[in-house]
Amino acid sequence: MAYKLLFVCLGNICRSPSAENIMNHLIEQASLSDGSADAKGDRILCDSAGTSSYHIGSPPDRRMSAAAVTKLGIKLRGRARQFQKSDFQDFDLILAMDQENYENILTLDQTKQYQHKVRLMCEFCSRHTLKEVPDPYYGGQEGFNQVIDLLIDACEGLLIYVNSQQAII
């Protein structure tokens, strides 16, 4: 059975789709996937969502996409969607980009039965010391580049963590 990851930011057009696409890229590089998100037998499945409804249906931000192409040579795929309560049941791990996203997600868990599934993305960084992935939306291109670097670090650590979890299962 696949291990399911959900990356969450505010609007689901910058940070979380970048994390989803970077993670898929790393999974593909590690030969854990055939590159198809729907493939049977995939060990790790990724998705992303936003805590707000601002950008539902929108593609990833073009500036974020440009940074992903420049830094990693990957094209960001996907369409923005809003986080749903059903995501608590559907995903094994829910990764919030910042403290506000984290708190907004936990607010939806009235029974507190899923809190153990919600973590901050930067907990998985090994090279960067930031505790949150900053929102680059209102800044310049350097902010988008920083987010890609930070997410590469976090996703590498996350992949190691997920593989260790799957070894236990």
Question: Per-residue pLDDT tens for 33-87?
Answer: 444 444 434 689 999 999 999 999 999 999 999 999 999 999 999 999 999 999 9
Whole-angstrom distance, CA of residue 44 vs CA of residue 96:
18
pTM: 0.93
What's the pLDDT band for 168 if we cut at 50, 70, 90?
A: low
Residues in Cβ contact with 29 at an 8 Å cutoff, skipping those fewer than 6 apart:
none
| CA-based nearest residue to 74, from 21, 144, 14 | 21
What's the mean pLDDT in 143-161? Answer: 97
35: left (phi > 0), else alpha (psi -120 to 50), else beta?
A: left
Has residue 133 got a pLDDT over 70?
yes
Q: How many helices (H) and strands (E) does the chain have?
A: 5, 4
Write down the pLDDT at residue 4. 97
CB 4 within 8 A of CB 166: no
What are the catalytic residues? 9, 15, 135
Write down the pLDDT at residue 41. 42
